Structure 1
Amino acid sequence: MEKRERLLHASSFGMAAAAYDEHRPDYARAAVRWALEPASGPRVLDLGAGTGKLTASLVALGAEVVAVEPDPAMLNELRRSLPAVRALPGSAEAIPLPDASVDAVPAGNAMHWFDMTVAGPEIARVLAPGGVLAGLWNLMDDRVEWVAGLARVGGSAAVGPRDTPAGWRAGTADAHLPESRVAARFGAAEQGEFPHEQRRTADSLVATIATRAGVLVMPAQEQEATLGRIRAFLAGGPETAHGEFTLPMLTGVLRVRRL
């Protein structure tokens, strides 16, 4: 994705901040623990925090959390839902914190929006030596046949290559830690995957997919057609046609240490 297109997609979430907060899933608790495991202390920066989906899990694990989010509407939702958390405007490329002030920097479904040539040195600046940078992504488990069908029907804008386990494994480390591990500030990357799930109905799953950047930036007619295909697919499937069902997921984690 070229820079202009990436910026357009990254800035699209504010128009759906309330829906994002309502429908997007949290992260597997085991994944969050694993992401933070090598950290030497409790000071955590949730970078690109959105409406606080990851923030809430970090707080529940006892971390001392500062949340940083560039979109004002998303930041307002975070402050509304988690008023006790220190939440600041800022971005991965311009973090409003002092040098070596945090022990871990997790990012939930956000790291792919960062310009790592700028953000990498900036994250290294705020991390204490030996600190952890961790990206977390929620993935639809397309090893399950009906989920694979949903991915085919929705198309790449609704369920992109990074949203399924195989695509995430193939692209994550190279895509998000370029330039020789950001000029040798970080060590070798580790990947982990953790079972997760979300209870959905057909309507709420359509609403979840509607908060994806690829759908948000669609022209209205194309968006309606895409969501209509997904709705029809869910209505015709025995697993998803009647009431609540479980959406099988994984939380994938990319973890590196600051040298």
Structure 2
Amino acid sequence: MDTNERLLHASSFGAAAVAYAEHRPDYAQAAVRWALAPAPGPRVLDLGAGTGKLTATLVALGAEVIAVEPDPGMLAELRRSLPSVRALSGSAEAIPLPDGSVDAVLAGNAMHWFDMAVAGPELARVLAPGGVLAGLWNLMDDQVDWVAGLAQVSGSAAVGPRDTPASWRAETAGMHLPKDGGPARFGAPEQAGFPHGQRRTADSLVATLATRAGVLVMPEPEQGALLGRIRAFLAGRPETARGEFTLPMLTGVLRVRRL
């Protein structure tokens, strides 16, 4: 994905902020705890916080959270749903916080949008020594037969290279971590996956996939055709044809420590 395409995809979510808040999953608490485990203190920046999916989990775990989000539509939804959280306009490339002011920076389904050539020194700047940088991604467990079929029918626009466990491990193994933190440096990256799930119906799963960037930027006729194929697939599977079901997932975590 070139720079212009990446920016187009990254800026697509604001118009769908309400649907994103309603349909996107939260994050497995065990995954968030693992991400934070080496942090030297409780101060956490949720960077690229979107509508607050990860923010809410951090609050539930007792972290002192500041949320930073560049998209006005997503930020407004976050402020509406989590009014007690300090939520600021900003980006990974221009973080509106002082030097050494947080013990951890977490990013939920967002780190792949960062321009690490610019963001790397910014992340190092705001992290206290020994602080943790971690990206979290919710992954569809394609070891389950019907989920593998869904991924195949959905194509890369709806189920991309960071959306299933094996491809996520390959795609994130150092790709989205800072290559240079200025005077500061980062240690070796670690990956881990944690079981998770989301209660869905066929309609709500289609609505979830419709909030993926690759789908949001599609021309309307192509988008409608894709969602129609997904809907037909779900209607033809006994696991998903009627009522509620659990979408099997993992929350994958990539973490690194600031030295």
TM class, shorter-chain normalised? over 0.9
| Structure 2 Cα separation of the partners of residues 97 and 221 of structure 1 | 43
**1:121 corresponding residue in structure 2:** 121
Amino acid at match of 1:81: S
Tell me if the contact between 1:181 and 1:187 (Cα under 8 Å) persists in the aligned partners: no
Detail structure 1 runs of 4+ shifted over 6 Å in the superposition: 180-184
2:142 maps to which residue?
142
Q: Distance in 1 between the 2:84 and 2:180 partners?
A: 38
Report the equivalent of 1:161.
161
Q: Any stretches of 5+ residues in structure 1 without a counterpart?
A: none
Q: Which residue of structure 2 lines up, in the alignment, with residue 174 of structure 1?
A: 174
* Pairs within 5 Å for 1:157-236: 157-177=157-177, 179=179, 185-236=185-236
Note closer, same or farther for the CA distance 1:181–1:144 as it changes in structure 2 (3 Å cut): farther
Q: How many residues align?
A: 259
Q: Does 1:38 align with 2:38?
A: yes
Question: Over the residues paired in the alignment, what is the CA RMSD in angstroms?
Answer: 1.2
Give the structure with the higher percent helix: 1
Question: For 2:219 and 2:153, how far apart are their aligned partners in 1?
Answer: 18
CA offsets, 1:147-182, max 9 Å, x none?
000000000001012100000011102321263688
- For the 8 Å contact 1:67–1:85, the answer to whether it is kept is yes
For the 8 Å contact 1:139–1:163, the answer to whether it is kept is yes
Contact persistence 1:215–1:223 (CA under 8 A): yes
- Which letter does structure 2 place at the counterpart of 1:102? V
Aligned residue for 1:52? 52
Structure 2 CA distance for aligned equivalents of residues 243 and 158 of structure 1: 22
Determine if contact 1:106/1:134 at 8 Å carries over to the other structure: yes
Inter-partner Cα distance in structure 2 for 1:58 and 1:180? 27
The TM-score with structure 2 as length reference comes to 0.98
Distance (whole Å) between structure 1 residues aligned to residue 256 and residue 47 of structure 2: 15
Q: What do residues 217-249 of structure 1 show as CA deviations (whole Å, max 9, x unaligned)? A: 000000000000000000000000000001000
2:119, 2:178 within 8 Å by CA — same for their partners in 1? no
TM-score of the aligned structures, taking structure 1 as reference length: 0.98
The residue that corresponds to 1:88 in the other structure is 88
Distance 1:111 1:4 in 2: 17
| Structure 1 residue 103 corresponds to structure 2 residue 103 | yes
Q: Deviations over 1:55-110 (max 9, x none)?
A: 00000111000000000000000000000000000000000000000000000000
8 A Cα contact 2:67 2:88, kept in partner: yes
Quote how far apart the aligned CAs of 1:183 are. 8.0
Is the Cα–Cα contact under 8 Å of residues 122 and 181 in structure 2 kept in the other structure? no
Q: Give aligned-pair identity as a percent.
A: 83
Change in 2 beyond 3 A, CA 1:80/1:156: same
